[in-house]
Structure 1
Amino acid sequence: MAHPHQLLVAGGGIGGLAAALACARQGWQVRVFERAAAFSEVGAGVQLGPNVVRVLQAWGLDVALQAVAAFPARLRVRDAASGRQLATLDLAAMPTRYGAPYATIHRADLLALLHGAVQQRDDIALALDRRVQGFDDDGHQVRMQTHHGDGRAAEPVAGDALLGADGLWSSVRTQLLGDGPPRLTGHLAYRALLPQAALPAALRSAEVTAWLGPRLHLVSYPVRGGEALNVVAFVHGLPPGGKRGATPDALADWDHATNAADLQAAMASCCAPLQDLVRAVPAWRLWVLADRPPLHAATQQASGRVALLGDAAHPMRPYLAQGAGMAIEDAEALGHALRQADTEVPARLARYALERWQRNARVQARALRNGRIFHATGPLRWGRNLSLRLLGERLLDMPWLYGPQQRGR
């Protein structure tokens, strides 16, 4: 009997654990190497469209998701300056329309859900405190070098394929593509998580609300079964101490404590209800947003016996709420590609890349476009508001994104 193929995964975040689960389900042995000393996820909320929830359901995680997520019934879009409602989208109709609900979840809860599923399998091994230093693909196997957290070199490990799921600052991508660091977007994200019980009744919400303003927008939605409210505000600006035109190399540790007064000043022209919400947040975490241009070829997502997934392959601006979603979709597609037993491993990875790169590029491009629309000023802002009032749900719903995908395209 042939031995199972071995997949090495660099990165134990949402994408890495999702890939480990998807590929183990297809008969591969998986070894995950995570540079952190414990599985944990910074940040706050994640939105999961029905395209992503369907994947989690197919992996048998529906009950676990129901236990920790919230399922908002509506998306409401409002003008940040006037407070006026511009449009709504009926999220409660998603199960009927697309076969799965729209979920909102804390990042840590999503990571824990995936980690729990991975731990139940004996064909997945997890190694913590292991930083990937490099790899060698000789055409027959991949050998990966890692270091322990204290700097000691670990024994090299060999596998049939290597997956770089090590995020925006991927060392696997650096060696595979050599295309330099990601780029600064000129946007900052302020994030907070609030217990709903501690908020005034007028600020509590069971919906997704997007407030669109000149050069900024804010999104809020429930997580943890509705017990907490995730709030994230996006504004144009440079990082603390940053200079225009600076490269993002120094921003690898990109989660910073910041002062609530900074955001309050940036949103001083917004309507009273929105300012009330901003003032209700005692402390924010600041992210300096960086990304890469949309993918332009399948070879950017796989080459030889090495492939990339999630932010390592296609980091995107968070204006379509699909960053984690595309990583989970990648994982499912990778699992399906790797199960093709009659095909050499490099060809399986090439098939994975061919299936994924154009969809990922489209999502990256749409997220860029959304950022321009959300933050519009002048006549473009007036046109946006009018279009939303007239067309509403027809603009907000996205069958191309939320609907089932035809495999192999």
Structure 2
Amino acid sequence: MRKQVLIAGGGIAGMAAALGASHAGWDARLFERAQEFSEVGAGVQLGPNVVRRLQAWGLQKALHAVASVPQQLVARCGRSGKVLAGAPLGQSMVDRYGAAYVTIHRADLHSLLWYAASERADVFINPGQEVVEVLGTERVTTIRTSLNKEIEGDALMLADGVWSKLRGPLLGDASRPRVSGHLAYRALLPMADVPAGWRSNEVTVWLGPHMHAVHYPVRRGEMMNIVVIIEGPAPEDMEHWDHAANAQALEQALQGCASSLQDLVRSVPAAGKAWRLWPLSDRTPLQGPEGMAKGLVGLIGDAAHPMRPYLAQGAGMAIEDAAELQRALAMDDLDVALRLRRYALNRWERNARVQARSIRNGNIFHATGPVRWGRDLSMRLLGARLMDVPWLYRGDGSSASSL
């Protein structure tokens, strides 16, 4: 008899988990609160470590039909606008790491995974049904949904995000995600409305005191994703993390920054587009495998290891998790609890390293005083070498310095 995994959450992590389980020969039953599957947000960067996983699922063609492949990564001083360093992407990433570095609209990535999962006969997607309670996790897992249905499975994966309501009771952890003190303003702009000097096929990062910004093309270069992260107090309602943002407040926060960056920011409301505000929350880096699996319950993506966006790996680590979940679930000689234990053992250290490096990068990006001067000097001297992340893109755990 085929085994069955229940999945709580239908975002990128949940869809990836369903694909991984299906490729392992399991049935996957996915439950999502929303009536229609969609993914809010703006752009996502996917390094070659993630693209290789999508290729293994046969999604290379579908990915490149909706994504952009930037040719260069450029870092600029947020105050002067001067270039600090640059690094090649494009074919150079393929040559070094076996896959491209791509940028994609978050909704396009979600749709790509949803379509791939829905096409598989052993994936059963249930919109309008939230997993509200876990009734048992001993010999089988039993859940109750918002439609008052009780469903049994051989395993349960929590993919319900940073504000997971199921995580605490199942792990015995009453802690809540911590507020980072960083606010992300995000916007999508048709490339035709972008100031002419910035219509490029590049990932551009601006580094300034207590702030940084990044912009890059999505949707085959038809749109530009713009993110500005500043330090400040978060709105009170943290769980509803996507808020209508005040463009004037953002412009005031960027006073003293390069005029060209300010022009780019002002081009968003000038084109009739809106900024959205995301207060950023995370958890301390994982301390062991217990943060990713307990008995017949596993966690994937932000439910297990929410991270700050300063290494651009939040969605990527969820997809890597799903690929490892696939390998673990396919170990038919082990009982299910041991398979999930193996999954957690093989993932927690890498996720913890990415979490810690993301925090470190945020401190470097937003540095002031002597740390800022040292950062800028190092980037001018080391350039592409400093901006490369071999241990991350290879996925082999080797060490290397990184921006």
Same fold (TM over 0.5): yes
2:372 alignment partner, one of 378, 381, 387: 381
- In the TM superposition, 1:151-190 aligns within 5 A as 154-177=148-171, 178-190=173-185
Residue matched to 2:385 = 394
- In the alignment, structure 2 segments of 5+ residues that lack a partner are 398-403
Query: Are residue 230 (structure 1) and residue 244 (structure 2) matched?
Result: no
Deviation at 1:290, TM superposition (A): 0.6
Instruction: Provide Cα deviations, 1:189-223, integer angstroms capped at 9, x if missing partner.
Output: 00000000122311322100000000000000000
**Corresponding residue of 1:317:** 308
For 1:281-300, list aligned pairs within 5 A.
Answer: 281-282=268-269, 283-300=274-291
Match of 2:354, SS state, is: helix
Q: Is the 8 A contact 2:292 2:344 kept in 1?
A: yes
Root-mean-square deviation (Å): 1.0
CA contact (8 A) 1:78 1:211 kept: yes
Q: CA deviation at 1:305?
A: 0.1
Structure 2 Cα separation of the partners of residues 291 and 198 of structure 1: 34
1:220 aligns with 2:219: no
Aligned residues: 391
Query: Residues of 1 paired with 2:16 and 2:6: CA distance?
Result: 13
In structure 1, the partner of 2:400 is none
CA contact (8 A) 1:75 1:208 kept: yes
C-alpha distance in 2, partners of 1:136/1:305? 13
In the TM superposition, what whole-angstrom CA distance separates every residue of 1:91-129 from its partner, at most 9, and x where no partner exists? 120000000000000000000100110111110000111
- Map residues 336-347 of structure 1 onto 2, 5 A cutoff: 336-347=327-338
Q: Which amino acid in 1 is paired with 2:281?
A: A
Alignment equivalent of 1:32, drawn from 20, 30, 35: 30
Question: Which residue of the partner structure matches residue 114 of structure 1?
Answer: 113
In the alignment, residue 160 of structure 1 is paired with which amino acid?
A: D
* Structure-1 residue corresponding to 2:139: 140
Q: Measure the CA separation in 2 of the matches of 1:88 and 1:136.
A: 53
**C-alpha distance in 2, partners of 1:134/1:354?**
26
Matched residue, 1:63: 61
Deviates more, 1:387-396 or 1:96-105: 387-396
Q: Alignment partner for residue 303 of structure 1, among 289, 294, 302?
A: 294
Report the TM-score, using the length of structure 2 for normalisation: 0.96
Query: Aligned to 1:130, what secondary structure does the other structure show?
Result: coil
8 A Cα contact 1:205 1:229, kept in partner: no
Which stretch shifts more, 361-370 or 80-89? 80-89
Show the counterpart of 1:200.
195
Runs (4+) off by over 3 Å? none
| CA shift digits 1:21-71 (9 cap, x unpaired) | 111011000000001111111110000000000000010000000100000
Offset from partner CA, 1:112-166 (integer Å, 9 cap, x none): 1001101111100001111221213342100011114xxxxx2111000000000
CA–CA separation in structure 1 for the residues paired with 2:240 and 2:137: 33
Q: Given that residues 21 and 118 in structure 1 are in contact (C-alpha distance below 8 angstroms), is that contact kept between their aligned partners in structure 2?
A: yes
The percent identity for this pair of structures is: 57
Conservation of the 8 A alpha-carbon contact between 1:134 and 1:175: no
SS in 1 for 2:396: coil
Distance in 1 (alpha carbons) for counterparts of 2:38 and 2:151:
24
* 1:40 counterpart letter in structure 2: S
CA contact (8 A) 1:8 1:163 kept: yes
Partner in structure 1 of residue 186 of structure 2:
191
Q: Secondary structure at the match of 1:365?
A: helix
**Equivalent position amino acid for 1:30 in 2:** A
C-alpha contact (below 8 Å) 2:137/2:297 kept by paired residues: no
Query: Which residue identity is paired with 1:202?
Result: G
Distance 1:382 1:270 in 2: 16
Q: 1:151 matched to which residue of 2? A: none
Residue 103 of structure 1 pairs with residue 90 of structure 2 = no
1:172 and 1:14 mapped to 2: Cα distance? Answer: 18
**CA distance 1:269–1:168, shift in 2 (3 Å):** same
Q: Distance in 1 between matches of 2:4 and 2:280?
A: 34
Q: Deviations over 1:253-308 (max 9, x none)?
A: 11100111111000011011111101111120001111100000101100000000
Contact 1:137 1:304 in 2 (8 A): no
* Native 8 Å contact 2:141 2:296 kept in 1: yes
Query: What residue number does 2:260 align with?
Result: 273
- Kept in 2: contact 1:221–1:229 (CA 8 A): yes
1:247 match: none
Give the secondary-structure state (helix, strand or coil) at the position aligned to 1:171.
Answer: coil
